[in-house]
Structure 1
Amino acid sequence: MKRDGHIHTPYCPHGTTDPLRSYVEKAIKTGFTDVTFTEHAPLPSSFTDPTPLKDSGMTAAQLRPYLDEVKRIKEEYKDRIRIRVGLEVDFIAGYEDRTTAFLNEFGPELDDAILSVHFLQANDKIFCADYSADVFMELAHETGSVEAAYQLYYKAVEASIAANLGPYKPKRIGHPTLIHKFQYAHGEKIDDNEAIIAVLKKIKSAGLELDVNSAGLAKPDCREPYPPFHFIEQARRLGIPLVFGSDAHSVSGLHQRYEQFYTDGRDTI
């Protein structure tokens, strides 16, 4: 089975307008048998998106059209490929009740979902940690160091794993080392091995899946998947269910670098 469990859509406000049908046709052509569309869920209405264009997630008005269109495509292609209706849901500390309420309302309509951390709070300021190298460095300055910013991220991921978000909590933890996205921009060598292993052990203990996310390989300041290959191997040894995700925001990015997880001696999934 070839599966891609992390795919964005034309409903992504910071993505492309490539139609859903084009993603599906490419998946079929390249031999994939199982895909999940995981568009960024709307952020809580009381949360202020810190990005300049306020475009980190769908608007509330887009959610119903998104769900309905994926369901239509799922039905249309049901004899050719398995399509799962999904969302990528943000874990934001302090907004657990609102996230739970959202999941209780829309979770019954989902086949699959990812729980991810993008936003961090430091000294009463909110940062989208993966927005840009400049924003990351602002975060590092606010926390006191690059290492402190890393640790803040891992603590947030651990909190997402432990959070009680109700019966429809996503079963997969998204890109748990996303904080590495700008590692070649800041240039510091951070020893975060213990923190990553601690995250993996908590994922295992919670019975959750791991998003094996290839997007970082295409980022010039990252050059590795989230998490890096050797941690994917550790996750596999721990018995954590692994789900490849290209995190594609365009048809051209769909299934990006998939072959690197199955060749060069890295049969990681």
Structure 2
Amino acid sequence: MRKRDGHIHTPFCPHGSEDSLEKYITKAIDEGFTEITFTEHAPLPISFVDPTPDKDSGMKPELLEAYFEQLHLLKEHYKKQIIINIGLEIDYIVGFEQQTRNFLTEIGPMLDDAILSVHFLQHAGNYTCIDFSENVYLQFAEQVGGIEAMYNLYYETVKQSIVADLGPYKPRRIGHPTLIHKFQLAHNQSINDRAQIEAVLQLMKTHGYELDFNSAGLSKMYCQEPYPNYEYAAFAKQIGIPIVFGSDAHTAKDLHQHYDALQQKLSF
């Protein structure tokens, strides 16, 4: 049976752990995985000001070369035991499409795989990292006119990411497309976003994207579901979107988190 984890972070993540790349790889082998992709947060556009307090949302640009070099060595060393894909998680940031395209054009030939994700939303000329904390999330909702308005802004931004021209090396997988649910139990409101989610998935299907079926939300106190949840993942499968499990692990301990539960709910 093919077991794949397509969303894994590394010690190169400035807000992750210092667990070695080898620790992730040997755990994946021990747990019977046949393929993994390391998808570290790519360096953010040079002129983009990271709104998080520690400015640690992306890898430091000067570490990119070492990231590729180490993964190339490990990929070769373990090639008889597991397929290791060298990847990145690329942020789609409204207004920075050209810089992102330039970056992808430069480093794209070195990538085996990649994810395109939305973490930052723009409002009134400012950017907010909407998955940083429940307080930041709720404050941003107030700024944009409420929870539903924030949900709508998020989904519209994901749609923009799907249709954006980021060049020939644009990632072909959309990361956690319901990340806006990360703090859904913190706002105590019932938001019917079915139409928005299904529209996102239909657009992904139309443009030939894979889905990052991301288990990390199950471990988040205010989420308690994967991104997207089982119902929408089943819808994605029904309309023919390729589904790739992603643990979004930022520590070796979280590698492959909830894989069995997701596999039992929805064979992928």
Q: Does the TM-score normalized on the shorter chain lie above 0.5?
A: yes
Residue 250 of structure 2 aligns to a residue whose secondary structure is: coil
Shift of 1:206: 0.3
Query: Equivalent residue for 1:204?
Result: 205
Per-residue CA deviation, residues 166-194 of structure 1 (Å, 9 max, x unaligned), is 00000000000000000111111110000
Letter in 2 for 1:60: P
Mapped to 1, the partners of 2:108 and 2:126 lie a distance apart of 30
Query: Equivalent residue for 1:215?
Result: 216
Sequence identity, in percent? 55
Query: Equivalent residue for 1:267?
Result: 266
Per-residue CA deviation, residues 79-101 of structure 1 (Å, 9 max, x unaligned), is 10000000000000110000000
Per-residue CA deviation, residues 66-111 of structure 1 (Å, 9 max, x unaligned), is 1111111111100100000000000001100000000000000000
Mapped to 2, the partners of 1:99 and 1:124 lie a distance apart of 19
Instruction: List structure 1 runs of 4+ shifted beyond 2 angstroms.
Output: none
The answer as to whether partners of 1:232 and 1:268 remain within 8 angstroms in 2 is no
Residue 248 of structure 2 aligns to a residue whose secondary structure is: coil
Aligned: 1:147 with 2:148? yes
RMSD of aligned alpha carbons: 0.6
After superposition, where does 1:1-269 map in structure 2 within 5 Å?
1-263=2-264, 266-269=265-268
Mapped to 2, the partners of 1:228 and 1:89 lie a distance apart of 22
Shift of 1:123: 1.6
Mapped to 1, the partners of 2:200 and 2:236 lie a distance apart of 10
The answer as to whether partners of 1:7 and 1:245 remain within 8 angstroms in 2 is yes
Per-residue CA deviation, residues 230-252 of structure 1 (Å, 9 max, x unaligned), is 00000000100000000000000
User: Number of residues paired by the alignment?
Assistant: 267
Letter in 2 for 1:194: A
Residue 39 of structure 2 aligns to a residue whose secondary structure is: strand
The answer as to whether partners of 2:130 and 2:136 remain within 8 angstroms in 1 is yes
* TM-score normalized with structure 2 length: 0.99
Shift of 1:158: 0.2
Mapped to 1, the partners of 2:144 and 2:241 lie a distance apart of 31
The answer as to whether partners of 1:236 and 1:268 remain within 8 angstroms in 2 is no
Mapped to 2, the partners of 1:151 and 1:238 lie a distance apart of 23
Unaligned runs of 5+ in 1: none
Per-residue CA deviation, residues 147-173 of structure 1 (Å, 9 max, x unaligned), is 000110000000000001000000000
Unaligned runs of 5+ in 2: none
* TM-score normalized with structure 1 length: 0.98
Mapped to 1, the partners of 2:267 and 2:141 lie a distance apart of 32
Mapped to 2, the partners of 1:71 and 1:214 lie a distance apart of 27
Per-residue CA deviation, residues 48-82 of structure 1 (Å, 9 max, x unaligned), is 00000000000110111111111111111001000
Letter in 2 for 1:240: I
Shift of 1:262: 2.0
Mapped to 1, the partners of 2:108 and 2:131 lie a distance apart of 26
Mapped to 2, the partners of 1:146 and 1:164 lie a distance apart of 29
